[in-house]
């Protein structure tokens, strides 16, 4: 075990550093420090040695050069188990540094500010910090390296239990954390700089998608298998996303989540997040098979209306709600075999009811009153990947265009808005039928749009007369409109943009249907 006799402390995040340093000194550790960290420790009555005094070389260039010195990196990299290293260190009066406590300039936080200037971003690229961390982590057999304040308490506890020493296993775990953190730090810098064709590039010249892209996730759990039992898999979290989502949901009960459970739960929760009014959705194989909203009905009734769309497909599905699950809602959920339920919360009565379903996974992901949806979407292909913005942009209702002779009624318009939100989350080619703010039929993932229309009609368990239709992309031919009219559909919402839009509009007028163009497509492959 490596005994800690000398530590170098230089932190940007100073939370807990005074108390940690006090405990180190109490254990007989000599503390080296720099700049603001040294001042803070002295102000709190702690005895520290300035790095500039230790190296006999002043901090210079506005602090850019202070720890880049052989006495620092020799003390970190020198191997105590090699006599030639020990002799060379003694020859050059280099003392061993047994612990490094460093966290880095807040680069990611700096560039996240809307008014961040390019020069400010550059100044927040840490050089000495990552260099010390990497030197210490490479020599983890002899050096303890700490990058996060959450590790202060366990390290002190271990040192107190082992006469000031830290175990090799702990040092190795901390070293891995360092290389993971510095990799993410360098990735943030590379991704940011990759957006600029020149340092003085105008914002309009900047490329939102950088020349290279590096993404890092933190493993949440190993999964039993992937989509199929023959595939190995694990679930990783994106630390840059802090909106309510499957990745930060808390599992309250049930079996371990599977690969497919996670995909379906994500699809369900992202759809239910579209609604501010109370809503519930049923998902099967990432497609909605039931959905409903209401401002007057109970959540239990909303669940019943959502399930009624396709109760056969709902069996073994995933349910998402954007309100707390209460006792009555839990009773409705208990009537169907489900894989998982994700919601902002569960009442004690609901938890008691659902506890009988021991295999049912309950996921809690509190929905904030307001949150900023953001981030990029990665789709892997063999030999590469596709990178795009998430499909979060929507043209406001005020810019929607009624292209038919007849305007939609107020009831039709309300249901068209509901259907449009649902359709965005259905695999292309996507068609949904809705009535009175609940799903009636869904046609998903077909190779031709007319097939999706026909499937949505065929799947409907209640009369389609008086329903409305949403299409994720334009109708390439009028056949889809004609089929919808034969089923009694009274209004259609679609993006428009086909060379045959005139034919689709003419078909709508022939059938006295209202038709709205949104100007915004929602393909989901």
As annotated, the active-site residues are 138, 285
How many whole angstroms separate alpha carbon 253 and alpha carbon 351?
Answer: 9
How many whole angstroms separate alpha carbon 153 and alpha carbon 182?
Answer: 22
Whole-number Cα distances in Å, 280 to 260, 269, 297, 365, 482: 20, 9, 12, 14, 31
How many whole angstroms separate alpha carbon 317 and alpha carbon 314?
Answer: 5
- Number of helices (H) and strands (E) in the chain: give both, helices first: 19, 23
In terms of Cβ atoms closer than 10 Å to its own Cβ (0-12, 13-18, 19+), residue 33 is: buried
The DSSP H or E segment spanning 136 is helix 128-138
Q: Which residues of 6-25 are buried (b: 16+ CB within 10 A; e: fewer)?
A: bbbbbbeeeeebbebbbbbb
How many whole angstroms separate alpha carbon 189 and alpha carbon 160?
Answer: 38
Is 466 within 8 Å of 441 (Cβ atoms)?
A: no
**For residue 123, what are the contacts with CB-CB under 8 A and spacing of at least 6?**
none
**For residue 297, what are the contacts with CB-CB under 8 A and spacing of at least 6?**
278, 305
How many whole angstroms separate alpha carbon 479 and alpha carbon 504?
Answer: 8
Sign of CA dihedral 341, 345, 347, 348: positive
Q: Interior CA angle at 55 toward 52 and 56, to 5°?
A: 75
End-to-end, the C-alpha distance of the chain in Å comes to 54
Which DSSP category does 65 fall into? B
Query: Can you tell me whether residue 518 is helix, strand or coil?
Result: coil
Is 151 within 8 Å of 113 (Cβ atoms)?
A: no
């Amino acid at each position: 075990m490596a005994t800690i006799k000398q530590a170098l402390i230089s932190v940007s995040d100073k939370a807990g550093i005074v108390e940690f340093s006090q405990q180190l000194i109490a254990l007989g550790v000599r503390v080296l420090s720099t700049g603001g960290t040294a001042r803070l420790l002295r102000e709190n009555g702690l005895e520290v040695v300035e790095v500039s005094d230790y190296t006999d070389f002043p901090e210079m260039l506005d602090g850019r050069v202070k720890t880049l010195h052989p006495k620092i990196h020799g003390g970190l990299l020198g191997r105590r188990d090699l006599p030639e290293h020990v002799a060379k260190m003694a020859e050059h009066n280099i003392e061993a540094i047994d612990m490094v406590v460093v966290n880095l300039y807040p680069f990611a936080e700096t560039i996240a500010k809307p008014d961040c200037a390019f020069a400010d971003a550059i100044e927040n690229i840490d050089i000495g910090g990552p260099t010390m961390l990497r030197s210490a982590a490479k020599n983890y057999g002899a050096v303890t390296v700490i990058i996060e304040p959450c590790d202060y308490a366990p390290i002190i506890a271990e040192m107190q239990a082992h006469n000031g020493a830290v175990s090799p296993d702990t040092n190795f775990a901390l070293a891995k954390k360092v290389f993971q953190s510095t990799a993410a730090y360098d990735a943030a810098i590379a991704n940011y700089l990759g957006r600029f064709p020149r340092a003085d590039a105008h914002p309009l010249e900047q490329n939102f998608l950088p020349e290279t892209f590096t993404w890092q996730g933190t493993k949440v759990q190993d999964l039993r298998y992937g989509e199929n039992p023959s595939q190995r898999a694990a679930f990783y979290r994106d630390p840059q996303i802090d909106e309510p989502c499957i990745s930060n949901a808390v599992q309250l009960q049930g079996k371990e989540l599977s690969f497919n459970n996670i995909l379906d739960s994500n699809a369900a929760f992202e759809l239910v997040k579209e609604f501010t009014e109370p809503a519930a959705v049923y998902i099967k194989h990432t497609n909605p098979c039931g959905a409903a909203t209401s401002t007057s009905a109970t959540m239990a009734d909303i669940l019943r209306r959502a399930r009624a769309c396709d109760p056969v497909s709902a069996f073994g599905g995933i349910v998402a709600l954007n309100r707390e699950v209460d006792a009555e809602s839990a009773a409705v959920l208990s009537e169907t075999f489900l894989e998982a339920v994700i919601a902002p919360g569960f009442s004690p009565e609901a938890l008691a009811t659902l506890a009988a379903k021991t295999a049912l996974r309950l996921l809690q992901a509190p929905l904030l009153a307001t949150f900023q949806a953001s981030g990029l979407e990665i789709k892997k292909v063999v030999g590469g990947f596709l990178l795009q913005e998430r499909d979060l942009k929507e043209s406001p209702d005020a810019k929607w265009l009624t292209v038919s002779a007849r305007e939609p009624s107020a009831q039709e318009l309300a249901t068209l808005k509901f259907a449009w939100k649902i359709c965005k989350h259905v695999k292309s080619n996507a068609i949904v039928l809705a009535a009175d703010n609940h799903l009636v039929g869904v046609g998903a993932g077909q190779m031709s749009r007319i097939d999706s229309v026909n499937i949505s009609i065929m799947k409907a368990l209640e009369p389609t007369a008086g329903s409305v239709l949403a299409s994720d992309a334009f109708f390439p031919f009028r056949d889809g409109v004609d089929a919808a009219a034969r089923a009694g559909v009274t209004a259609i919402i679609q993006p428009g943009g086909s060379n045959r839009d005139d034919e689709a509009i003419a078909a709508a007028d022939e059938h006295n249907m209202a038709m709205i163009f949104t100007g915004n497509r929602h393909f989901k492959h």
